[in-house]
Structure 1
Amino acid sequence: MSRQAAAGPDAAVVPDAAASPDVAGSPAGPGAPDREKLFAARLHAARARPYLATALFALHPVESRRVPTMAVDRHWRCYVSPAFVARTPVEDLAGVWVHEVSHLLRDHHGRSDRVARERGLTGPAERLRMNIAADFEINDDAFGDGLVTPQDAAVPGLLGLPDGELMEDYLRRFRLGTHTEPLAWLDCGSGADGLDREWDLGPDGAHGLSAQERDAVRFRVAQGITGRPGSASKGWRRWAEEVFHPPQPWRELLGAAVRSAVSGSGAGEDYSYGRPARRSAAVPGAVLPSLRRRPPRVAVVVDTSGSVSDAELGSALLEVAAISRAVGGRRDLVTVLPCDAAARVVHPLCRAEGIPLVGGGGTNLRAGFTRALGLRPRPDVVVVLTDGQTRWPDSRPPCRTVIGLFPRRSGVPSWAEDDPDYRPDLPPEWARVVEIGSAS
């Protein structure tokens, strides 16, 4: 998004939003956007990013002098400032088209609403921060290869942040202040941060897409990316993979189980002399430690035995990413331990897709538990992702345990079993169990 016309004279005109003419269906009057220029820019964007063509042509433009540049709502309308179109070259407009439709494809409005509920973020200032974070997620790899990079594009480097992270990650890394004042003009609309605008036509307005139509567009774009993965950036390939693995109720259950475990009494708590206990005043000459809460550490044991399919291992990587978000996005606090009959190399979590899940033999997750509990510092929570065809520890580990069970295939024995009547032991009662793939 560019601010070339943000302070233009037309930006101060506030007509009735309901009376704003349809760009695609009305003649170009004295104050209407240059339709040919706007649509030429969209065609340029589709040629530069062919995998986004379905979404670009599903986005319906609406003239509005209330927006500083271009903005979108959650119903796939694109509000266009005539002054902005007049002042912006076609090549730059193409980049704005791609930027705005990216907000909708990546569901930034829905994700912003969820973040706001989970973290108690309210008010326009926090929504502006979400808009900035969403722009960072898009702009770090949106331009180049046929698309001009705007001079004032909001990119992570402006705040000294790394590329390649998600909106939720960036939100934890900065607050509004003098260093973000150059970005205060940003307004990509309710489609970017979930906060309704006065100019929005709403769910009953003309030319909005239904929820089913929006999902169909996302699915078509994801198909185009996975069909020709070499033509899309790494960020778009990651997005397409997640579209084919949409969040399910069981994923929410797994995240809730992990959050409950890490927030429980005793998890992430230890005595510290960094801040003396208030009781020290009652004991002259002695300094007593206080019980302080530190960020919880999570060890994820992934069953890589022969009875676990490649699809389930791919799902396990998605769960690792979800677990990271459940503990506040601190990837340095999450370690991953592949295990079949023996525990493998422990991997610190940098990027879930880069973790090698080595295995393929029999199953003995006891070794995984032993290795996880031997980590230093010791984890506060152990999460096990498995099909359940294993022997479990005889005694309860000295930390909370969450077990994510892949669907059991009836009649299929484990890798190391020759008995067709073999049935694995049920997970222990001391663990919180979530059935992965269950719709309930």
Structure 2
Amino acid sequence: MTGRTPAAPATEAAPTTPSAPGAPTTPGAPTAPAVPPKALDRDKLFAARLQAVRARPYLATALFALHTVESRHVPTMAVDRYWRCYVSPAFVDRTPVEELAGVWVHEVSHLLRDHHGRGDRVARERGLTGPGERLRMNIAADCEINDDVFGDGLARPEGAVDPRSLGLPEGELMEDYLRQFRLGPLTEGVTWLDCGSGADGLERPWDLGPDGAHGLSEQEQDAVRFRVAQGITGRPGDTPRGWRRWAEEAFHPPQPWRDLLGAAVRSAATGPGAGEDHTYGRPSRRSAAVPGAVLPSLRRRPPRVSVVIDTSGSVSDTELGSALLEVAAISRAVGGRRDLVTVVACDAAARIAHPLCRAEGIPLIGGGGTDLRSGFAAALAVRPRPDVIVALTDGQTPWPGERPPCRTVVGLFSRPYAARSWDEDDPDHVPDPPPAWARVVDIG
């Protein structure tokens, strides 16, 4: 939540009218009736939402998806994880429309960025419990939002928390900010903050819960996020950097690349034909149908993996170190059988295929140009032939013209597009993408 510091509860309902000074109080005499609390000024509230839509049209779908609930328990405005927005009538009454528009955008930002789900995950991973830690999450989430959400037609609400007020850098995520501050003198003025369970995942007493009216299902929430991300990426214009980053991740959510690489290797290694061979060690049961003949049985053995590492001059030492880590991860993916993993270092020409004893002892020789075709040829020349080839490269290489007779996984070192396209002899050169027959995994 963001906005003005909430007034004392007495502003919600005026006290009874006192008697004139010195006037005697007559027992049983009628007193002035109490002034009923003001109802929520929905016209003003919705006018502020329209102003927020005009200032941030790409958030229109999300702003109109929020269902407002009048509540005198919230200090200002707060949201729950089901896309309900709880609004204090007194807060709306005393806040200008221009600032209310900023609060609308702030609250819906918590939901679009899934701060409730992320807060739950961080609490489990780091063991953060208690209201103090949830307040820190709320403050950190506000810092993520408020560093670039205001301006350009959207007024900054009074009391809004931003990274600069806490001496923190801008442009970071809630999880990063949580590591950089603790509750103390710099946060004393914002202890009243409460954006609701939609900001940190902790259910509030005023929440209507999953069975309450007008809540959005997870599928409906995802549909709203997709529409907003679609609007941002379709016409980014002068959209703030934080929103562009969020939209890109909404379309292409970050994946645990090491798990993906391991899964790709396991999938290739367990596919039909991989790691299968005939053996006379256990005769086939069909031998009984052929008297006088012993037929071999088909047995699955642990798969053999050959790893081709790009050691050309365009690959950095850091990426080569990452490649060695991937070799160790690949050996674990095939059950820890290092005797079944071989490594081929390759730049413009392939080196010797080394059996994997220790990942640290593999000689990564190279530094010249790049041609992984020779690396693939060297890997296929290993006997017994591998069931899976894993190529770890920056992608600046020609690829084999024909599909190898085994499954192939390509691990691409993550780089900006411009970096992947760089060529000192031809600045306009764009490398060919990996072939369609390879399973491609981006290595972070």
- Smaller-chain TM-score range? 0.5 to 0.7
Flag the 1:252–1:418 CA change in 2: closer, same or farther, 3 A.
closer
Q: How does 1:210-359 map to 2 (within 5 A)?
A: 210-246=217-253, 253=259, 341-345=312-316
Alignment of 1:137-148 (within 5 A): 137-148=144-155
CA–CA distance in 2 between the matches of 1:132 and 1:406?
48
Cα distance, 1:254 vs. partner?
5.9
- In structure 2, relative to structure 1, the CA distance for the partners of 1:83 and 1:56 (3 Å cut) is same
What is the DSSP-based 3-state SS (H/G/I as helix, E as strand, rest coil) of the residue aligned with 2:85?
strand
Over 3 Å counting, the alpha-carbon distance change for 1:399 and 1:231 in structure 2 is: farther
What amino acid is aligned across from residue 415 of structure 1 in structure 2?
P
Q: Which residue of 2 aligns with 1:2?
A: 3
Q: CA distance change for structure 1 residues 101 and 346 in 2, over 3 Å: closer, same or farther?
A: farther
Percent identity (aligned): 63
**How far, CA to CA, are the matches of 2:102 and 2:136 in structure 1?**
22
The question of whether the paired residues in 1 share the 8 Å contact of 2:260 and 2:441 is answered with: no
2: distance between equivalents of 1:255 and 1:61?
45
Q: How far off is 1:343 after superposition? A: 4.0
Structure 2 CA distance, aligned partners of 1:205 and 1:150? Answer: 30
1:216–1:398: structure 2 CA closer, same or farther, 3 Å change rule? same
Counterparts of 1:10-409 in structure 2, within 5 Å, are: 10=11, 31-246=38-253, 253=259, 341-345=312-316, 368-369=319-320, 372=321, 391=344, 394=354, 395=356, 396-398=358-360
CA 1:61/1:10 → structure 2, altered by over 3 Å: closer, same or farther?
farther
8 Å Cα contact 2:262/2:329 also seen in 1: no
What corresponds to 1:417 in structure 2? 400
Letter matched to residue 244 of structure 2: R
Offset from partner CA, 1:43-63 (integer Å, 9 cap, x none): 000000000000000001100
> For the residues of structure 1 that align with 2:398 and 2:89, how far apart are their CA atoms?
65
Residue identity matched to 1:5: P
Structure 1 residues 84-93 or 416-425, which shifts more?
A: 416-425
* Residue deviations 1:102-123 (CA, integer Å, cap 9, x gap): 0000000000000000001111
| Paired residues, number | 300
Secondary structure of the residue aligned to 1:231 is: coil
> In the aligned structure 1, how far is the partner of 2:101 from the partner of 2:87?
13
Q: CA 1:144 to 1:425, structure 2 compared with 1: closer, same or farther past 3 Å?
A: closer
Aligned letter for 1:397? A
Matched AA of 2:360: P
**AA of the residue aligned to 1:155:** D
d(CA) in 2 for partners of 1:406 and 1:199? 57
**Separation in 2 of the partners of 1:99 and 1:172?**
22
Distance change (3 Å), C-alpha of 1:169 and 1:139: same
Give me the whole-angstrom Cα distance separating, in 2, the residues matched to 1:423 and 1:138.
48
SS at match of 1:143: coil
User: 2:237 is paired with a residue of what secondary structure?
Assistant: helix
| 1:346 Cα offset (Å) | 6.0
Mapped contact 1:4–1:84 kept (Cα < 8 A): no
Q: Which amino acid aligns with 2:122?
A: V
TM-score by length of 2: 0.60
1:62/1:80 contact within 8 Å kept: yes
1 CA distance for matches of 2:246 and 2:69?
A: 27
Instruction: Give the superposed CA RMSD.
Output: 4.0
Shift of residue 179 of structure 1?
2.2
**Partner SS for 1:200:** coil
Q: Which runs of 5+ in 1 are unaligned?
A: 14-28, 258-302, 306-337, 348-367, 374-378, 409-413, 428-434
- DSSP 3-state at the match of 1:238: helix
**Which runs of no fewer than 5 residues in structure 2 stay unpaired?**
15-35, 264-306, 331-340, 346-352, 363-387, 392-396, 411-438
- The alpha-carbon distance between structure 1 residues 211 and 58, as it changes in their structure 2 partners (threshold 3 A), is same
CA distance in 2 between partners of 1:399 and 1:117 (Å):
38
**Deviations 1:378-430 (CA, angstroms, capped at 9, x unpaired):** x99568999x9x93672432399xxxx9999xxxxx83424444547789xxx
Larger radius of gyration: 2
Whole-Å Cα distance in 2 between the matches of residues 425 and 256 of structure 1? 13
Structure 1 residues 98 and 419: CA distance shift in structure 2, 3 A:
closer
Give 3-state SS (helix, strand or coil) of 1:229's partner.
coil
Structure 2 counterpart of 1:135, one-letter code: D
Alpha-carbon distance change, 227 to 426 in structure 1, aligned in 2, over 3 angstroms: closer
**C-alpha displacement at 1:151, in angstroms?**
3.4
Distance 2:167 2:211 in 1: 42
Question: Retained in 1: the 8 A contact 2:101–2:154?
Answer: yes
Q: Deviations over 1:127-154 (max 9, x none)?
A: 0000000000000001000011123210
Please state whether the residue corresponding to 2:117 is helix, strand or coil: helix
With normalisation by structure 1, the TM-score equals: 0.60
Equivalent pair of 1:3/1:152 in contact (CA under 8 Å)? yes
Structure 2 CA distance for aligned equivalents of residues 37 and 171 of structure 1: 35
